[in-house]
Amino acid sequence: MNLTLKNLYDDFRDPKTIKALAELITQEAEKLDRPVNIMEVCGGHTHTIMKYGLKQLLPEKIRFIHGPGCPVCIMPKERIDHAYILAQQPDVILVTLGDMIKVPGSKGSLQQARSQGADVRFVYSPLDALKIARENPEKRVIFFAIGFETTTPMTAALIDRAEKLGVTNLLYHINHVTVPEVMRELIDSRDEHIDSYNNRIDAFIGPSHVSVIAGAKIYREFPERYGRPVVVSGFEPVDVMEGVLMLVRQFTQGRCELEIQYRRSVTMEGNLSAQRQIDKFFEKRELFKWRGLGNIPHSALKLREAYAHLDAEKVYGEQLPVEEIEDHKLCICGDILRGMAEPTECQVFGTACTPSKPLGSCMVSSEGACAAYYKYGDLLQRRSDR
């Protein structure tokens, strides 16, 4: 028998197993004396929950709320404007990953910049930027780097490889962000949203791909300091349901701990080699603005001073604006990213804001909560109920 990728994940999508886990969760939830709000931090988990109808399988006492773990959704317009401006510099090729090319800033999206003649290229791997730089020695190639702990090692590997090969026409605009700081912000913030923050999040499902790199240890403070249990879970539906069951059992058994559901790849310490590579090139920023959440201390990375000559923010510093820009007034992406609202509570969801004409980043990104609700939610039924 030839083993295929489908063979590997079939068991993790088995309907009978999913329903059996739902029954166990329901039995366990009957022991709860109040509802439990579980925030899935990552947009990948949100899509699994919506795609496989996991919400509908759970009892009313178990509620999912959606978090800020989508690197495209949290990118503020100011940073997208940087990419837009850099793309239009003479003899520049701007390279980026994912849905970033479609997200509108205040001046437009990278897709629009490309339609106006800018050389903007989408790649699947950061190392493709190296190939582009070597093929275009007369141009300056700028890699607009995005993502959480998951993608940061690939950018570090790109820099390391370019340095070893002596490639001098490749610069970097670094927008890598880190998960623990934003989770801390959601609980610990003391601004006008504080009551809503503290009242909504009872527990976290942590993204496994982040912990493959950074280790589960990055979540230790949440049960220990904040009294919020964390289960690091995989992204298949059986993984998510088992993670929920592990969290519910913590509540019914009076425990508050950090646990790993995705033991197939996640350890407490993570990938130490990748962590050393990241530390070699990056250090924490003092502040980084998250879309809808504002400035969060030490929540993002920048190039170390030794690599300042590769930093597009410094090389093109005079051309890049620093003023803050407000989001669209009708968009509630900020509240959705804080777990304070569901996409369907937005008055423009599915009407003025759709994947083909998005107003907010949660609808633009394929990992965004609004995109998940639009794609998998019962939109037509909701419309008929209005």
Q: Give residue-wise pLDDT tens across range 57-87.
A: 999 999 998 888 888 888 999 999 999 999 9
% of the chain at pLDDT higher than 70: 92
Q: Cβ distance 351 to 360 under 8 Å?
A: no
Contact 190, 296 (CB under 8 A): no
* pLDDT at residue 305, as a whole number: 97
For position 187, what pLDDT does the model report?
Answer: 86
Q: How many CA atoms lie within 13 A of 109 on its CB side?
A: 19
The whole-chain average pLDDT of the chain stands at 90
Per-residue pLDDT band for 269 (boundaries 50, 70, 90) equals very high
| In the chain, ranges of CATH 3.40.50.11740 domains | 77-176+271-319
Domain 77-176+271-319, what architecture?
3-Layer(aba) Sandwich (3.40)
Q: Which residue has the higher pLDDT, 101 or 176?
A: 176
In this predicted structure, what is the pLDDT of residue 339? 80
The dihedral built from the CA positions of residue 149, 152, 156 and 158, taken in this order, carries a sign that is: positive
Distances (CA, A) of 36 to 20, 92, 173: 20, 50, 40
Is the backbone of residue 350 left (phi > 0), alpha (psi -120 to 50) or beta?
left
pLDDT tens sequence across 195-231: 444 457 999 999 999 999 999 999 999 999 999 999 9
Quote the tokens at residue 17. 């197993």
Is the pLDDT higher at 70 or at 166?
166
State residue 8's pLDDT score. 62
Q: What is the DSSP letter of 328?
A: P
pLDDT at 165: 97
